[in-house]
Amino acid sequence: MSTTIAAIGTALSNSGISIIRISGKDSLNIINKIFKSNSKLEPNHIIYGKIIDKGEIIDNVLVSYFKAPHSYTGEDVCEINCHGGTQITKDILEIVLENGASIAEPGEFSKRAFLNGKMDLSQAEAVINLINAKTRTESRIAAKNMEGDLSKKIKALREELVELMAHIEVSVDYPEYDYDEVEPTSIISLLDRKISEIQHILDTYDHGKYIKNGVNVAILGKPNVGKSSLLNNLANYEKAIVTDIPGTTRDIVEETINLGNIVLNISDTAGIRDTDDIIEKIGVEKSLKILDEVDLVLYLINGEEGISKEDFEILSKIENKGIKYIPVINKMDLTKKTILSTILKELEQNGIKKPVCISAQENDGIDNLKNEITKLFNVSDLDYSHELIITNERHKDLLKKSIEYLIDAKNEINLGQPIDIVSIYVKKCTKTLGEIIGADVTQDIISKIFEKFCLGK
Ligand SMILES: Nc1nc2c(ncn2[C@@H]2O[C@H](COP(=O)(O)OP(=O)(O)OP(=O)(O)O)[C@@H](O)[C@H]2O)c(=O)[nH]1
Ligand SMILES: [Mg+2]
């Protein structure tokens, strides 16, 4: 880490200001070579002056200075706030590089912050999540984890498990002391408590995943039931082609909409039917294949025509796959009472959940549908300001693995194995938990994580 690195920290487009960041032991030297000011640059201050290169004024700028270790990276950091034109920003970066800095890799500032102990790995990952956040909830969760909420919890769990290992070791090394704590039953109850604490964090992942990636929703149903009309209604503009010709939508049409605190990634699909048309056939296959990757299906039934055998076939396919779904009766403006009651009766007889009735064309019942979706994903009830929520797949996998080790430990006790075998599994568990905060990670993992960062972060 002896090099001094530099990069543009803001997006390259015309704007009020741009920031060029420099980090490393030569930061101040480089600034002194290229920056002229009437004031002296002190740590934690920002001063006005000019960037001068080969006697020529390049720009009027503000420069700040953070002295190691009190900076984002833990090294000496200087930041040049220049005018936000793309050319001037690139020019100043080039001058900084010519005067001794190397160009930073994506995420290198944050990687240095991690390596210098300014933040642990889960906090660094929260920084990426904060930058990539698409909803307010997502950014709040990321901010909490950036503050170290997850790290604190993981550290506490590890400490308690290390304490357990210490008790076990004492009892093995000094068997003449009869500690209550190392009775197999008390170890089992402690392991059970830890398993349920970890499970509790793990259970937040689904919420976290929806918050981070959005909910993948597919609108499915037979041709001409109004799937594309519903998509257009939810999107608030004519995204998909709507006609009265069955088989209008051939390929999947995607649109993203915000529903309260969640993002819905909606796919409008080709109406499902037996067809000889080659293109439509491919579309129908895609509609069915989408079932492998969705979180929610809105299954549309044509209220004007009633429900058919094919509808039940697809609905039972959805049920069997265990996918969340909402049956939606569309074209309510054309639906006769007798047909509606037949549909409702048949749905009930076939064990299908209660439908939502809408008219996509008349914009009727859409709020009900939105409420049902929100209820299913429960995100609006989520108290993200108090609850620790994980959104990261790496964290989920490691928490799962930790639980498995604790279960292994329990199994060993139940099999009557010597108590010190237990500590082998508990140790594996603490090591795995450590990987979440970066206590036990390989260089490979570190590189992979920081590669995901943008330039200048
Ligand atoms: N009266 C009425 N007509 C509707 C409603 N929703 C859709 N339609 C009409 O039904 C026809 C088919 O609508 P689409 O949205 O194209 O249906 P689709 O399910 O996407 O059809 P495919 O793409 O062929 O599978 C169009 O003429 C729409 O205007 C509704 O709520 N009420
Ligand atoms: Mg369509």
218-269: pLDDT as tens digits: 999 999 999 999 999 999 999 999 999 998 999 999 999 988 878 899 999 9
The binding-site residues of ligand 1, defined as CB within 6 angstroms of any ligand atom, are 221, 223-229, 242-244, 246-249, 270-271, 330-331, 333-334, 359-362
The Cα 93–Cα 384 span in angstroms is 40
Q: Which two tokens stand for residue 371?
A: 């409420």
Mean pLDDT, residues 156-177 taken together: 81
Answer whether residue 274 shows pLDDT above 90. Answer: no
Structure tokens at 398: 């490691």
What is the tens place of the pLDDT at every residue in 352-392? 999 999 999 999 999 999 999 988 886 655 566 667 889 89
pLDDT tens-digit readout, 304-349: 999 999 999 999 989 988 999 999 999 999 999 999 999 999 999 9
CA 213 – ligand 1 centroid, Å: 29
d(CA 190, CA 399): 17
- Substitution candidate for ligand 1 out of 219, 222, 224 with most atoms within 8 A of CB: 224
Q: For the residues 120-147, what does the mean pLDDT come to?
A: 89
Closest CA to 142 of 377, 456, 395: 395
> Can you name the residues that pair with 66 across neighbouring β-strands?
77
Neighbours of ion ligand 2 (CB under 5 A): 227-228, 248-249
Structural domains present in the chain? 5-117 (3.30.1360.120), 136-208+392-438 (1.20.120.430), 214-381 (3.40.50.300)
Ligand 1: atom nearest CA of 270 is 25
**Whose atoms come closest to the Cα of 226: which ligand?**
1
The answer to whether 48 and 39 are in contact (CB under 8 A) is: yes
Residue whose CB lies within 8 A of the most ligand 1 atoms, among 222, 227, 229, for a mutation test: 229
Q: Which token pair is 221? A: 């149903």
Task: Name the residue among 126, 90, 111 with its Cα closest to residue 23.
Answer: 111
Residue 273 has pLDDT above 90, yes or no: no
Distance CA 182, CA 168 (A): 6
Could you tell me the distance, in angstroms and rounded to a whole number, from the CA of residue 249 to the centre of ligand 1?
11
| Percent of the chain with pLDDT strictly greater than 90 | 69
Other beta carbons within 10 angstroms of residue 140's beta carbon come to 17
Q: Which amino acid is located at 37 in the chain?
A: S
Helix axes 184-213, 149-173, angle to 10 degrees: 160
Q: Which two tokens stand for residue 354?
A: 């209660």
In terms of C-beta density within 10 A (0-12 exposed, 13-18 middle, 19 or more buried), how is residue 206 classed? middle
The ligand placed nearest to the CA atom of residue 225 is 1
Specify the range with the lowest mean pLDDT, choosing from 74-83, 339-348, 413-422: 413-422
Q: How far is the CA of 361 from the centre of ligand 1 (A)?
A: 8
Question: How many CA atoms lie within 13 Å of 305's alpha carbon, on the beta-carbon side?
Answer: 13
Residue whose C-alpha is closest to residue 297's, from 275, 274, 264: 264
The tally of CA atoms less than 13 A away on the side-chain side of residue 237 is: 5
* Phi–psi pair at 189, nearest 5 degrees: -70, -35
